[in-house]
Amino acid sequence: MPRKRVLSGVQPTGALHLGNWLGAIRNWVELQKTHETFFCVVDLHAITVPHDPATLAENTLSTAAQYMACGIDPKISSIFIQSHIAAHSELCWLLNCVTPLNWMERMIQFKEKAIKHGDNVSVGLLDYPVLMAADILLYDADLVPVGEDQKQHLELARDIAQQRINSKFGVLDKPLLKVPEPLIIKEGAKVMSLSNGRNKMSKSDPNEGSRIALLDPPDLIKKKIKRAKTDPKIGLEFDNPSRPEAENLLSLFSLMSGIDKKTAAEKCSEMGWGTFKPLLTDATIAALEPIQNRYKELIQKPEELNQVLADGRATAEEVAQSTLDRIKAAVGLLKKI
């Protein structure tokens, strides 16, 4: 039996944070042991909002290094840069032409970002989820491990594959595109901001103190946790909707220390914030230390990193090109001579 295929990606829009790690990348590391895995740095997604070119290039390489530092092994996974494979943009165009505009206008992330960017909303931002569908569908991915915020985008990818490509251009018993399944691991699927337990931790929050980056040095982690929002109650607990910060920080403690949720809740049930925060700080610093050490080694060897990306591209491109050719033929584009 061939191994099931997995594809996922993160935008190189800034330092990766605990949400990216716990919601996505940490799960990739496990999946690569049992699945055929493709992980891309989605730089074309990163240019859907205004950006600085030099920073983007730097972040792209750094994001790839952070994948590896987190444990993605280039010997068993293909790691590549989205824009290095033209098929992503090409399939995106083909899918654009069959995707109804009103499906796009419903996308929550688009609506949220559109509000934030006011007059400066690009067509690319509206089209973001179609490009994401192209990323996934090109690889006939069975599973797409992401955080909860990406669920709606995955539904869209499924709908495009099923209703707009397979049913219009395919034959019944031989679908043109694989319809992917989301894989959202409950623990860590939504890490909340340190400055407001009701907002998700996000790279785009202007307040740096709202997130912990994987590469933050220990003293900065300490400072951020010290300043993290709390409430006046003593004792940490889960499942109290009026205490989102307690929920989030306790959950982070459990994930960072590897102590299961129940034990963590018991351990901290009578603890004041002043006792709890140093425990969370130590657990976080210890959990990130091996990642930071590996990152420092990797980023000093750009040639090796580039070789990994070239190898990843070669493997990925072969799969992507064959899917693209299949879809082009199915929609009636004349074959190259």
Active site residues: 113, 200, 203
Q: Give the single-character DSSP code of 123.
A: H
By the 8 A CB rule, do 7 and 139 touch?
A: yes
CB of 328 to ligand AMP, least distance (A): 29
| Residue from 153, 200, 277, 313 binding ligand AMP (CB under 6 A) | 200
> Does 66 participate in binding ligand AMP (rule CB under 6 A)?
no
CA neighbor of 124 nearest in space, from 46, 63, 40, 54: 46
Count of residues for the chain?
337
Place of tokens 């060897």: 301
> Does 133 participate in binding ligand AMP (rule CB under 6 A)?
no
> Does 136 participate in binding ligand TRP (rule CB under 6 A)?
yes
For ligand TRP, the closer of residues 68 and 280 by Cβ is: 68
Give me the phi and psi of 11, to 5 degrees please.
-80, 140
> Does 149 participate in binding ligand AMP (rule CB under 6 A)?
yes
For ligand TRP, the closer of residues 77 and 254 by Cβ is: 77
89 Cβ partners below 8 Å, 6+ apart? 44, 83, 131, 134
CA neighbor of 214 nearest in space, from 276, 150, 296: 296
For ligand AMP, the closer of residues 7 and 138 by Cβ is: 7
CB of 192 to ligand AMP, least distance (A): 7
Query: Which residues within the stretch 21-60 sit at the binding site for ligand AMP (CB under 6 A)?
Result: 23-24
> Does 42 participate in binding ligand TRP (rule CB under 6 A)?
yes
Interacting residues toward ligand TRP by CB under 6 A: 7-11, 42, 45, 132, 135-136, 144, 146, 150, 153
Interacting residues toward ligand AMP by CB under 6 A: 10-11, 19-20, 23-24, 146-147, 149-150, 189-191, 200-203
